[in-house]
Homo-oligomer: A and B are copies of this chain.
Amino acid sequence: MDNKKIEKISRALSDANRIAILQQFKKRKDCLYCAEVNDLLDLTQPSVSHHLKQLVDADLLLSQKEGRNLKYVLNQQVLDEYIACLNELKS
């Protein structure tokens, strides 16, 4: 994982709404639907869409279309790679 990627993932994680989204996976279940995220956050639908896009663009979330709905799952592999890079910082 190069520095550009570390930067992008860090930026995706640097917002309270996006952190809240990621934490829902642990609380609820292994996947989240777009509509559930809209209910979770106190934001309009376009804003939520924007935040989800940041997480998907950083590869922290994987999305899968199910008819009109959109299902998200946490990309544990990318999260692990990011964590590994942070561990590398330690001497």
Decide: B86 and A74 in contact? CB cutoff 8 A.
no
Decide: A10 and B7 in contact? CB cutoff 8 A.
no
Q: How many residues of A contact B (CB 8 A)?
A: 31
Select the stretch in A18-26, A41-49, A62-70 that faces chain B: A18-26
How far, in whole Å, are A3 and B91 apart by their CA atoms in the complex? 26
How far, in whole Å, are A79 and B10 apart by their CA atoms in the complex? 13
Interface flags for A9-50 (1: CB within 8 Å of B; 0: not) read: 011011110011011011001100000000000000000000
Taking Cβ atoms with an 8 Å cutoff, the residues of A that contact B are: 3-4, 6-8, 10-11, 13-16, 19-20, 22-23, 25-26, 29-30, 74, 76, 79-80, 82-83, 86-91
